Amino acid sequence: MKKFASMIAIALLATSMLVSSCKDDDPAPSKTDLLTAKSWVVSAGEIEYSGQRFPYPAIVQDCDKDDVTTFTKDGKFTTNVGTVLCDTEKNYGGVWQFKENDTILALKEDGETDFDENTITVLTDSKLEIFIEEFNYDVNGTKVKAKTYLIFKTK
């Protein structure tokens, strides 16, 4: 009987450990948490047309790829330009905010009066993708609707 009681106790202990280890007590991080957790660098530009995505390096210059942008929870951002400069580029900063249920990332550089609004298409702990524009794009002599995206990765 003692052996049987010990086996039941072990089984109950194992079951409770299994159930408690399977719980996901951590809430999903907010978009603010994802954006402010790490710094971001431009990794690529892409174009989408006819239901497919392709690299589109025309919207990303080499001098952009080493710039590091950091967002803080108090609504500020800074961009530190890297060693490869675009013309007379300097470090800059400003303020940021989410709009429209955290689907728009609005940025206003110091000294500017208006916000630039960017539609977020992807925001994870390692990737930020924003929609740039939609326009008519020439594909082998045929105009098609195209969309461009700027992709950032965490540093």
Q: Are 125 and 113 in contact (CB under 8 A)?
A: no
Burial of 72 (0-12, 13-18, 19+ CB in 10 A): middle
Q: What is the pLDDT of residues 53-94, one digit of tens each?
A: 999 999 999 999 999 999 999 999 999 999 998 888 899 999
Tokens of 105: 């990332």
* pTM strictly above 0.85: no
* Contacts of residue 102, Cβ cutoff 8 Å, sequence gap at least 6: 30, 31, 32, 120
Q: What is residue 133's predicted lDDT score, i.e. its pLDDT? A: 95
Q: Tell which CATH classification among 2.40.128.540, 3.20.20.70, 2.40.128.260, 3.30.2020.10 matches the domain 30-154.
A: 2.40.128.540
Average pLDDT, the chain: 88
SS3 30: coil
CB atoms within 10 A of CB 149: 20
Q: What is the pLDDT of residues 12-33, one digit of tens each?
A: 444 455 445 555 578 899 999 9
Weakest mean pLDDT among 13-17, 116-120, 144-148: 13-17
What are phi and psi for residue 74, nearest 5 degrees?
Answer: -85, 10
Q: Across-strand partners of 154?
A: 40
